[in-house]
Structure 1
Amino acid sequence: MTTSMIGPRPLYAMPGVSHEYMAPELVNDLPEDPRAWVPRPGGGEFLPRLFDTLTGVIVNLNRYRKPGVLGRHLHGSPVYAYTIEGTWRYKEHDWVAKPGSFVFETPGEVHTLVVDEATMVGFFVWMGGYQIYDENDNIIGAQNVLSLIDVCDQHYRECGLGADYVRQFIR
């Protein structure tokens, strides 16, 4: 059996890195600066943890500090969510996610995220993007990894964290 080579090292011989040109691992702690949370429509806040521009994967925390609604939207790929604090639900379903709840969301359904109580924090992993719908099922917007990088970059520039702040989350 031969080992694939790139340069003088075997392709998979470097601990923690599968290829010498691959982006390094990402380790980031929760920021203490409240400006790191990006305001979002519907009263929520978004804290990026990873923007993977190769695969389109987005890892983030969503936080609501008061009741709110994330408008009607449809994901083209699965979403994985873990509830850390508070509760949330989809208006179109009869379940409620509470602390410790894991939600696997299948793609292709229009739904509305609702936070009925004062505080909610959830950890979300999703890929691709989502389309935003109005009450008549017309598409009125869309978001993906690149547009969310832009949203975060604009917020970080405006709030004083600077033009490079968002780069720590990008791979």
Structure 2
Amino acid sequence: MLFEQIHTTCLNDADLPWVPFTPYSERVLVKYFKLDPIRGEVIALMKAPPRGEMPRHRHTGTVIVHTVQGRWKYREHDWIAAPGSIVYETAGSSHTPEALADDAAQDDIVTLNIIQGELLFVNERGQVLASENWKTGWDRYAAYCQANGIEARDLTAFG
């Protein structure tokens, strides 16, 4: 059977590059681990400076965000995500991420993101300005690897 031919795989953090999250930000970096064209899923680390915000966006699928380092929040909510916290976002939710910094800690914010479906960047009226998904992630990753002499790994494959 096909599923018996799929092998467990380990992708090491050090083997994958941090890629600028362009055109949205040169300062926000993403490290892709899995870009799944079958389920429309992206598994990636995201690193952001300790102050600033990303554009408002809406999700077409669920998103799970584990905070590895730093503190952040959504402008639209009262809670603050700190190291070790898990944020679960439902399909259809919209929010504006903000990176937070303490005077004592100037560390980047690092999160592990499991994203199903698309991220739709929207304006203040909710109109879609841009879309991100597994394919745009692949295009960004492959272009970065090519421009920097890095052999791109097939992050879409199983096993």
Normalised by the length of structure 1, the TM-score is: 0.79
Q: 2:132 aligns with which of 143, 151, 162?
A: 143
Q: CA deviation at 1:65?
A: 3.2
Aligned to 1:28, the other structure's residue is in SS state coil
Alpha-carbon distance in 1 for matches of 2:120, 2:83: 27
RMSD between aligned residues: 1.8
Q: Deviations over 1:59-108 (max 9, x none)?
A: 11011134232211111111011111001111111111000111111111
Q: 2:20 aligns with which of 33, 39, 45?
A: 39
Contact between 1:156 and 1:166, CA under 8 Å: does it hold in 2? Answer: no
- By relative contact order (CA 8 Å, sep 6+), the higher-ranking structure is 2
Which sections of structure 1, spanning at least 5 residues, go unmatched? 1-10, 12-16
Alpha-carbon distance in 2 for matches of 1:64, 1:100: 17
Q: 1:134 aligns with which of 97, 100, 123?
A: 123
Structural mapping, 1:12-91, within 5 Å: 18-20=3-5, 22=6, 24-31=7-14, 36-40=17-21, 41-42=24-25, 43-91=27-75
Contact between 2:58 and 2:92, CA under 8 Å: does it hold in 1? Answer: yes
After TM superposition, the runs of 4+ consecutive aligned structure 1 residues lying more than 2 A away are: 17-20
1:170 equivalent to 2:156? Answer yes
Match of 1:14 in 2: none
Contact between 2:35 and 2:41, CA under 8 Å: does it hold in 1? Answer: yes
Which sections of structure 2, spanning at least 5 residues, go unmatched? none
Match of 1:4 in 2: none
Structural mapping, 1:3-14, within 5 Å: 11=1
Alpha-carbon distance in 2 for matches of 1:51, 1:90: 25
Matched residue type, 2:3: S
Aligned to 1:170, the other structure's residue is in SS state coil
Contact between 2:19 and 2:144, CA under 8 Å: does it hold in 1? Answer: yes
Q: Which has the larger radius of gyration?
A: 1
Normalised by the length of structure 2, the TM-score is: 0.85
Identity of aligned residues (%): 23
